[in-house]
Amino acid sequence: MIDWPLVSVIIFLPLIGALIILFIKEDELTSINIKWAALLATLGTFILSLILWLQFDYSNPSYQYEEKFRWFDDFNFFYHVGVDGISLFMILLSTFLTPLCILASWNNIKKRVKEYMLSFLFLETVMIGMFASIDILLFYIFFEAVLIPMYLIIGIWGGNRRIYASFKFFLYTLLGSVLMLIAIIVMYRNTSSMSIEFLQGNYFSYNTQLFLWLAFFASFAVKIPMWPFHTWLPDAHVEAPTAGSVILAGVLLKMGGYGFIRFSLGMLPEATEFFIPLIMTLSIVAIVYTSLVALAQTDIKKLIAYSSVAHMGIVTIGIFLVNQQGLEGAMMQMISHGLVSAALFLCVGVIYDRMHTREIEFYGGLVQRMPLYATVFMIFMLGSVGLPGTSGFIGEFLVIVGAFKFSSYVVIGAAFGIILSAVYMLYLYKRIIFGTITNNKLADILDINTREKIILIPLAISVILLGIFPNLFLDPMRLSLELIITNYEIANAK
């Protein structure tokens, strides 16, 4: 195995990149250096994180690459990081998407390039750190620190209503996460431990669990987001710059799902059992309602934002089925959504960069001028719909298979949502890609250039790879998920 602190290096490499950038003076000529430095730092992080995957021990359900240092003398807080099957792909998703984000903002971020890159590198550090932490306090610190760069990214480089959106995003998420802080302290008080590994036994009385569960729910339900806590999301997505939306949809929403698996399922099994009907109801409402809302949108980004909420509904159903298919499906759906929605936002970014509008009505007939674009867009659109052979299918299929064990009503709800997703995505595709060009401004629009190809093609490949070889991703996470399910069943059998 690896005898150097690989996880810490992955966590802090972007931060080191940020420190280097801090000392590059920004002007017209050097802003390209800043971009390259950011790109190299994030690419380096991605390559290192691939080592995590290659060296990963599939037969070990618990944490690997552990590093543990005493951090606070008076309490049992540790700097404790590691990777298991659940966090592995979340980390990979973050490290994979960040360089693409840097590339996507290569030309369209013109003001304050330095601050922009600093924000992204800091964001990458805290995202990876959050998924890798095994100490809850460390988790919490990273979880909240995510707000800082994201607030700046939306607020400085966002659209017209960026200030409203950034405040809404920050305060909404903060409100959820401070309640989690209380829950974390209560957990610590009861067990004198902050280790996620340790707390995944069942240590809390039933009533305590109910309160703790609600506190965690407040935080993760806002983050993921579940209906009716989703209202920050369309604003944040629409107003954020393209790369901001990519990270928001690609990684930040997954923090909620990840938290549900780790904390709600792992630590509070009995309360989870109690609240499952609530989650299922909210998820089905989310899927159906937000799909219908998506259908009515006139702004492409907003449409994709609402579709995210619907897809996350599938994820929460999958998680709270608490069986092997459901959890694997939820994980796959999260990874797939991370890639697909990120790619869709990037696709929107491509035409937004050219035309500076996101109104669906403005476009039409793009296939005439941008055949290559139409092709990649189609791959992602089908991935979002869940066509077999794309990543979306695996997740949705597994969740529905798992849902049959639970209740056929849930299956009907989820399937209805999937049909609706096909409706709004195909309708969107028809309106902007097909037909003849009616708008004269589109007459000389250019197809995607090399830089955009470099961004979109890896995403397209991974969407298809995920659809054809799901075991590549399912095998590493299987045992970790099984462990959570076993613990859950033992706790509830008592």
Q: Give me the residues that bind other proteins (CB under 8 A), please.
A: 71-75, 112, 115, 137, 140-142, 144-145, 147-148, 151-152, 155-156, 162-163, 166-167, 170-171, 174-175, 178-179, 181-182, 185-186, 188-189, 211
- In this complex, which beta carbon is closest to other proteins, that of residue 103 or of residue 109? 109
Single out the residue of 263, 253, 251, 401 nearest to residue 321, CA to CA. Answer: 401
Instruction: Give the whole-angstrom CA distance, residue 45 versus residue 398.
Output: 31
What are the C-alpha distances in Å from 282 to residues 73, 220, 273? 43, 14, 15
Question: Least Å distance between CB 152 and other proteins?
Answer: 7
- In this complex, which beta carbon is closest to other proteins, that of residue 120 or of residue 488? 120
Single out the residue of 68, 55, 117, 60 nearest to residue 86, CA to CA. Answer: 60
Question: Least Å distance between CB 141 and other proteins?
Answer: 4
- In this complex, which beta carbon is closest to other proteins, that of residue 130 or of residue 432? 130
- In this complex, which beta carbon is closest to other proteins, that of residue 156 or of residue 309? 156
- In this complex, which beta carbon is closest to other proteins, that of residue 84 or of residue 144? 144
Question: Least Å distance between CB 183 and other proteins?
Answer: 10
Question: Least Å distance between CB 443 and other proteins?
Answer: 34
Question: Least Å distance between CB 447 and other proteins?
Answer: 34
**Close Cβ partners of 348 (under 8 Å, ≥ 6 residues apart):** 242, 300, 301, 304, 358
- In this complex, which beta carbon is closest to other proteins, that of residue 187 or of residue 394? 187
User: Residue 299 is which amino acid?
Assistant: D
Question: Least Å distance between CB 252 and other proteins?
Answer: 16
Single out the residue of 178, 183, 208 nearest to residue 194, CA to CA. Answer: 183
Question: Least Å distance between CB 26 and other proteins?
Answer: 9
47-53 long-range Cβ contacts below 8 angstroms, 24+ apart: 48/6, 48/9, 48/10, 48/13, 48/95, 49/10, 49/91, 49/92, 49/95, 49/96, 49/128, 50/92, 51/2, 51/6, 52/6, 52/7, 52/10, 52/83, 52/88, 52/91, 52/92, 53/88, 53/92, 53/476
- In this complex, which beta carbon is closest to other proteins, that of residue 186 or of residue 437? 186
